[in-house]
């Protein structure tokens, strides 16, 4: 059963499909008569429709009214459903036309005939002598439709297929307009249609077909928003880099207002493409949510817990984590509620953005909310970082991969902050501990393996297993250091510096975390991780495939 606009009509259609064929033929005629009688801009009660089709008035007098436009579509759908349960032979109805025959008779396209069905041209599924089931239109139904929609039929018959020159002109006009201003597809189609003398839908269809055939030169994306051309992004990059708007306008040959409009559009597109993940709560939609959740002028006051003596075997910067105040259960709930609510507000505002008509105020409001969410997230992270260190110490102790394990645990903690649902009543430390340990169950064995691969002494021990006992341990270590130094020479200056600092290979300093190295170089921790992985791949290849060459050197 197809989808209907009105539930009672869907139920009535189902009941009619169970009626005998002799009754169904009479019901089909009654439905088609209704299609010709109903006015699209008026409303009709269900009991009137039911009585006209079945000669029966439902008990209880269901007085629900239905809009004529959608009711016509439901009635046309009902004709199709009734004629296909079971499919009636075409010989029962004479004369009738298939979709192709009717298109040829009225001098229109088959697509136009299909569109007319939504306007009130009822079609029936019939079985022809060759066994095929096709949509057919009774002659009397066609005559009534043409008489009622004469202008529509005449326009369809007068339509001519677009020539290639006309299609090129439509595309060129559309591109010219988009170079001057950024507008939606429907508005653009209206402007172009007025200039070329074609229907708006024809222009819209032509532009869509062009974009599908020329994806690299497309005017629009998957939606109705114009794509951002490379020159547009170049203007935005200049402004984002700090170049004054006046200078950018002079360089690009555009007005200052046009440059500002481009910047707003690109900012809006970036926000629309960004996923803002949050844990939704029903209280976010309640009236007065802003006052109830964000009403305070400042965050919750953090109560200083009793002084905890940090482990002495940790470096000073990790010991400082144990001096960071903890949240009480009430403060923790308040922080997570604020954190998710500001992201909820940002996402709600983001979905309302219109890239072609957006203001700086709207964009700044969203950016401000996202910045506040980052601030709250950092507060939560700082109060729970000691949790990562404690779990890491239990898993790997003070092994060589300890700092790498802490770094991975910090990532797990960040993900836990984003996924934690404060409304369930659990403590965040319980949820985060589970998430960190679950990650360690996968990553710690891999980290230990990778570390053993990088510590050349382990690999060298196999290679020198047959070395005479007269070779001293210092000699082996010196050879290992020489081998590592040879491998490091293959790296770039930045790659070498990151590897040396992270693993403490200079023998003078403690190993540094990825966060510390990122702060030193002015890049993110993830960027440091990418560079390190590339460097380790080079080292692994050098120390594996080229080991004999280094040994000879």
Average pLDDT of the chain to the nearest whole number: 78
Whether the link from the prior residue into 95 is cis, omega within 30° of 0, is yes
Percentage with pLDDT > 70 across the chain: 77
- Residues contacting residue 369 through CB under 8 Å, at least 6 positions apart: 342, 343, 345, 346, 349
- Quick one: pLDDT at residue 464? 43
Q: Cβ–Cβ contacts within 10 Å for residue 137, how many?
A: 25
pLDDT digits (tens, 9 = 90+) for 61-77: 555 788 888 888 888 88
- Quick one: pLDDT at residue 375? 93
The answer to which of 27-41, 88-102, 139-153, 329-343 has the lowest mean pLDDT is 88-102
- What is the phi/psi pair of residue 229, to 5°? -75, 160
Taking the CA atoms of residue 416, residue 417, residue 419 and residue 425 in that order, the dihedral angle to the nearest 10 degrees is 100
Maximum mean pLDDT: which of 127-131, 386-390, 474-478: 386-390
Residue 288: pLDDT band (50, 70, 90) is confident
The answer to which of 251-255, 419-423, 508-512, 541-545 has the lowest mean pLDDT is 541-545
Residue 313: pLDDT band (50, 70, 90) is low
- Quick one: pLDDT at residue 478? 57
pLDDT at 295 over 60: yes
The DSSP secondary structure of 256-298, one letter per residue, reads HHHHHHHHHHHHHHHHHHS-------GGGGSTTHHHHHH-SSS
Whole-model pTM?
0.48
- Residues contacting residue 494 through CB under 8 Å, at least 6 positions apart: 521, 531
Distances (CA, A) of 212 to 161, 208, 437, 511: 19, 6, 49, 54
pLDDT at 459 over 50: no
pLDDT at 469 over 90: no
- Quick one: pLDDT at residue 548? 41
pLDDT at 246 over 80: yes
pLDDT at 47 over 50: yes
Mean pLDDT, range 118-146, rounded to an integer: 83
pLDDT at 308 over 70: no
Residue 338: pLDDT band (50, 70, 90) is very high
pLDDT at 479 over 70: no
- Quick one: pLDDT at residue 140? 84
- Quick one: pLDDT at residue 471? 41
Strands 65-67 and 88-89 turn out to be unpaired
- Quick one: pLDDT at residue 473? 46
Mean pLDDT, range 346-356, rounded to an integer: 86
Mean pLDDT, range 150-177, rounded to an integer: 82
pLDDT digits (tens, 9 = 90+) for 516-538: 888 777 778 888 888 888 888 77
- Residues contacting residue 31 through CB under 8 Å, at least 6 positions apart: 53, 75, 78, 79, 82, 122
The answer to which of 202-211, 272-281, 413-422, 469-478 has the lowest mean pLDDT is 469-478
Distance between CA 286 and CA 355 in Å, rounded? 29
Query: In sequence order, what are the beta bridge partners of 66?
Result: 44
């Amino acid at each position: 059963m197809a989808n209907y606009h009105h539930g009672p009509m869907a139920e009535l259609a189902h009941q009619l499909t169970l009626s005998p064929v002799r009754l169904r033929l009479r019901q089909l005629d009654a439905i088609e008569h209704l299609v010709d009688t109903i006015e699209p801009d008026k409303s009709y009660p269900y009991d009137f429709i039911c009585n006209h089709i079945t000669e029966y008035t439902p008990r209880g007098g269901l007085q629900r009214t239905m809009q004529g436009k959608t009711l016509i579509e439901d009635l046309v759908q009902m004709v199709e459903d009734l004629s296909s349960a079971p499919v009636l032979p075409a010989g029962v109805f004479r004369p009738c036309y298939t979709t192709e025959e009717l298109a040829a008779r009225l001098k229109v396209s088959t697509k136009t005939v299909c569109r007319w069905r939504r306007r009130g041209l009822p079609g029936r599924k019939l079985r022809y002598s060759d066994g095929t089931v096709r949509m057919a239109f009774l002659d009397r139904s066609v005559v009534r439709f043409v008489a009622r929609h004469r202008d529509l039929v005449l326009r369809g018959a007068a339509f001519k297929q677009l020539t290639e020159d006309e299609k090129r002109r439509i595309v060129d006009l559309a591109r010219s307009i988009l170079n001057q201003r950024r507008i939606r597809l429907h508005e653009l189609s209206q402007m172009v249609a007025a200039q070329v003398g074609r229907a708006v839908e024809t222009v819209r269809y032509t532009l869509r077909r062009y974009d599908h055939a020329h994806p690299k030169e497309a005017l629009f994306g998957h939606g109705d928003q114009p794509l951002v051309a490379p020159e547009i992004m170049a203007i935005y990059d200049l402004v984002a880099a700090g170049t004054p708007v006046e200078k950018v306008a002079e360089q690009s040959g555009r007005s200052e207002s046009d440059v500002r409009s481009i910047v707003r559009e690109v900012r809006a597109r970036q926000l629309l493409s960004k996923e803002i993940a949050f844990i939704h709560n029903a209280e976010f939609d309640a009236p007065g949510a802003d006052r109830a959740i964000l009403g305070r002028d400042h965050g919750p006051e953090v109560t200083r817990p009793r002084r905890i003596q940090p482990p002495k075997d940790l470096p000073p910067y990790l010991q400082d984590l144990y001096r960071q105040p903890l949240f009480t259960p009430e403060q923790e709930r308040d922080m997570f509620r604020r954190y998710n609510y500001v992201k909820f507000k940002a996402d709600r505002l983001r979905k309302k953005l219109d890239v072609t008509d957006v203001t700086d105020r709207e964009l700044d409001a969203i950016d401000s909310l996202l910045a506040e969410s980052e601030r709250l997230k950092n507060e939560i992270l700082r109060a729970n970082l000691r949790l990562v260190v404690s779990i890491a110490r239990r898993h790997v102790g003070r092994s060589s991969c300890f700092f790498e394990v802490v770094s991975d645990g910090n990532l797990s903690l960040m993900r836990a902050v984003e996924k934690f649902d404060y409304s369930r009543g659990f403590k965040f430390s319980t949820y985060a501990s589970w998430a960190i340990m679950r990650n360690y169950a996968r990553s710690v064995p891999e980290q230990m393996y990778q570390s053993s691969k990088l510590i050349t002494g382990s690999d060298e021990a196999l290679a020198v297993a047959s070395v005479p006992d007269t070779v001293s341990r210092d000699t082996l270590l010196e050879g290992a250091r020489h081998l590592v130094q040879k491998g490091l020479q293959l790296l770039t200056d930045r790659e070498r510096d990151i590897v040396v600092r992270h693993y403490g290979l200079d023998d003078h300093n403690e190993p540094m975390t990825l966060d510390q190295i990122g702060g030193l170089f002015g890049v993110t921790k993830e960027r440091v991780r990418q560079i390190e992985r590339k460097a380790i791949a080079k080292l692994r290849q050098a120390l594996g495939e080229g080991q004999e060459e280094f040994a000879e050197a």
